[in-house]
Amino acid sequence: MKDVSAKQSVVAGQLDKVEAKMKDLIDPKPTVVEVDPMDRHDPPKKDTTAYQKNLEKIMKEEEELEEKKEAIEAAKKDVPKNPVVEASEAAEEAHVE
């Protein structure tokens, strides 16, 4: 009987350790970061080189798209009007005056 109770106390101690470990893993205690009031250095800034590269790429694509739109508008203006349409517009202007 003593042997069983001794084993039982050992197992209970082990179970307590496992329970404590599981509590730490599942619900960890928040770590408090102590800030030294004498340290007046700003925290290091994040690396934004990838962001800058992507931003430049996007800006370049937008400029190219804008140039294409302007080229299309210029090409549309260069296309001569239909002579019938020009004649009808001239007739409307003459009729209004």
Residues 4-52: pLDDT tens digits?
Answer: 788 888 888 898 999 988 888 887 777 777 777 777 777 778 888 999 9
Q: Indicate the domain borders of the chain.
A: 2-32+47-96
pTM exceeding 0.95: no
Residues 48-63: pLDDT tens digits?
Answer: 899 999 999 999 999 9
Torsions phi, psi for 29 (to 5 deg): -75, 135
3-state secondary structure the chain: CHHHHHHHHHHHHHHHHHHHHHHHHHCCCCCCCCCCCCCCCCCCCCCCHHHHHHHHHHHHHHHHHHHHHHHHHHHHHHCCCCHHHHHHHHHHHHHHC
